Amino acid sequence: MTHLPGPIAPPPRLLMGPGPISAYPSVLTAMSAPLVGQYDPFMTATMTETQELYRRVWRTRNDATVLVDGTSRAGIEAVMVSLIRPGDRVLVPIFGRFGHLLAEIAERALAEVHTIETEWGQVFPDAVIEEAVERVRPTLLALVQGDTSTTMNQPLAGIGEICARHGVLFYTDATASLGGNPFEADGWGLDAATAGLQKCLGGPSGSAPVTLSDRAVEIIRSRKRIEAGIREEGDEAASDFIRSNYFDLGMILDYWGPRRLNHHTEATSMLYGARECARLLLEEGVDNVLARHERAGAAMLAGVQGLGLVVFGDVAHKMTNVVAVEIPDGVVGDAVRSDLLEDFGIEIGTSFGPLHGRVWRIGTMGYNAREDAVLTTLAALEAVLRRHGVAVPAGGGVEVATDVFRGAGEAVWTAHA
């Protein structure tokens, strides 16, 4: 007889890394609701309702507000392959790992990709982006809002106006930041924005909310349709059709729109989960949720500083929901992480690229932007650090973090738009 594994039974975990994070319990409950058929009136009504909820999350009137089935990069890829014509110039300002991802995906979409880079731990001043826009003259500017690899939150409020002045489409990846930091799709002049559920929205990965301006939709609609049968080499139009079926936003919009043209089978359980993420955010109130992230983030920041640890990067521009902490000299970062996981059931994050082995990343997002989650993590970190020979002040982290929650501590920083 071959061994048959038992039903899935994950260990209890407090996910305090840069994402994925522990989902809100009601999101998991929503995802276990019974399935209905693809064109059941309940299903189509739920899709329409979810679109309306996400318009309020994105703060947009964009009719074209949908979910792409897949993780966050499914949303990124859908926007890129649908908006970029081969040979289009795309400008990607890179301030962390996800900027490199946008550049790579734009490259795969056959764009002529131009990048500018800033040091990890910094953001771009508007003037630097405008100078690059004037020099490159791109059709599309692709800019990450919050890059979890460095924890930085790129200010976007002034960028839309620059793009409008130069006739450039403006796209942002807000996966890490949406729902925990201010976001204004219409107010900031965005043509496209994408996200995922597994950061501040407090769900599992697997659904990518996307919103598109009318101008973006017009471009997508103007592209040749594959059904037109334009396939011959050298045919002018042959380079124009969208090179993906799954990520063809024209077809995805037709599926979500009033005509409900058959495309993929909408991932029902992910739809339920995404709907509940947005519903919870709006029920608590966007401003209240942002304030909760700001408070939890400030408490975690004050707490790690209270333990004598050094925070990485331009703290004035960090996201509310994640902090990068320099690993003290002589400490093996991964050994501390594994003790936290095995002894306390707490996960914190490692890092990539230039920060690999240099910092831990600790998140306070979604369901876990909570006092007990912050204090438990700080208490456990203190105990583990002491065991690894770091002279940490007893109770220092928990005490100052508690002060922040009680309103007695310094509001160490305020979130930037």
Ligand X SMILES: *Cc1c(COP(=O)(O)O)cnc(C)c1O
- The structure tokens listed for 366 are 């979604």
Q: Which of 46, 51, 60, 72 binds ligand X (CB under 6 A)?
A: 72
- Which positions from 17 to 36 touch ligand X by CB under 6 A, shown as an x/- string? --x-----------------
Q: Shortest CA distance to 380 belongs to which of 409, 349, 340? A: 340
- What's the chain's length in residues? 417
Confirm if 195 and 164 have CB atoms less than 8 A apart: no
Q: Does 98 bind ligand X (CB under 6 A)?
A: yes
As measured in angstroms, the least distance from the Cβ of 253 to ligand X is 21
Q: Candidates 109-117, 173-181, 253-261, 361-369: pick the segment binding ligand X (CB under 6 A).
A: 173-181
As measured in angstroms, the least distance from the Cβ of 7 to ligand X is 26
Q: Does 172 bind ligand X (CB under 6 A)?
A: no
As measured in angstroms, the least distance from the Cβ of 73 to ligand X is 3
As measured in angstroms, the least distance from the Cβ of 156 to ligand X is 13
Q: Does 175 bind ligand X (CB under 6 A)?
A: yes
> Contacts from 278-286 at CB under 8 Å and sequence distance 24+?
278/50, 278/53, 278/54, 278/56, 278/57, 278/201, 278/209, 279/53, 280/24, 280/26, 280/27, 280/202, 281/57, 281/179, 281/201, 282/53, 282/56, 282/57, 286/56, 286/57, 286/59
Q: Does 364 bind ligand X (CB under 6 A)?
A: no
116 exposure class (CB count in 10 Å sphere: 0-12, 13-18, 19+) = middle
As measured in angstroms, the least distance from the Cβ of 303 to ligand X is 23
Q: Candidates 41-49, 144-152, 299-307, 333-341: pick the segment binding ligand X (CB under 6 A).
A: 144-152
Rounded distance, CA 344 to CA 274, Å?
30
Q: Does 147 bind ligand X (CB under 6 A)?
A: yes
Q: In this structure, what DSSP letter does residue 318 have?
A: B
Beta pairing partners, 146: 153
Residue 207 vs 402, nearer CB to ligand X: 207
Q: Which of 69, 173, 276, 339 binds ligand X (CB under 6 A)?
A: 173
Q: Does 143 bind ligand X (CB under 6 A)?
A: no
- Which positions from 200 to 229 touch ligand X by CB under 6 A, shown as an x/- string? -----x------------------------
As measured in angstroms, the least distance from the Cβ of 196 to ligand X is 4
C-alpha dihedral sign at 397, 347, 150, 297: negative
Q: Does 190 bind ligand X (CB under 6 A)?
A: no
The terminus-to-terminus CA distance of the chain in angstroms comes to: 60
Q: Residue 167: CB partners within 8 Å, gap ≥ 6?
A: none
- Please provide the DSSP assignment of 88-101 as one string: -EEEEEESSHHHHH
Residue 58 vs 405, nearer CB to ligand X: 58
How many chain residues touch ligand X (CB under 6 A)? 13
Q: Does 73 bind ligand X (CB under 6 A)?
A: yes
C-beta neighbour count of 284 within 10 angstroms:
13
Residue 82 vs 205, nearer CB to ligand X: 205
As measured in angstroms, the least distance from the Cβ of 44 to ligand X is 26
Q: Does 176 bind ligand X (CB under 6 A)?
A: yes
Q: Does 151 bind ligand X (CB under 6 A)?
A: no
Q: Which residues bind ligand X (CB under 6 A)?
A: 19, 71-73, 98, 144, 147-148, 173, 175-176, 196, 205
